[in-house]
Amino acid sequence: MNKILLAAAASSVLLLAGCASGPDSATSDKLDDLSNQVSQLNDEVASLKSENAALASKANQAADAATAAQEEAARANERIDNIAQSYTK
């Protein structure tokens, strides 16, 4: 009985060892290609993020310039109104 049990254990170890082989070269090549694609996509995402940040900065600058122009126009209108009132008095 022990011999049968020992033979079954040995055959199961050999069977499991045969299943533990690594991936073949085609799978490795596909994995390398996918890794390269992921790396390229990460680079593109980083580039797009920096471009987005630059555009957001320019948009903020434009908004600030528009606000400053509005404030200056309001001050100019007040001066014109004051000048017009001084002529009518």
Q: How far apart are CA 4 and CA 10, in angstroms?
A: 10
Provide the pLDDT for residue 40. Answer: 97
Q: Measured on CA atoms in the order 23, 25, 28, 34, is the torsion positive or negative?
A: negative
**What pLDDT, on a 0 to 100 scale, did the predictor assign at position 85?**
78
Distance CA 51, CA 66 (A): 23
Domain limits, the chain: 45-89
Specify the pTM.
0.54
Model confidence over 4-62: pLDDT tens digits?
A: 766 777 777 666 655 556 668 888 899 999 999 999 999 999 999 999 999 999 999 99
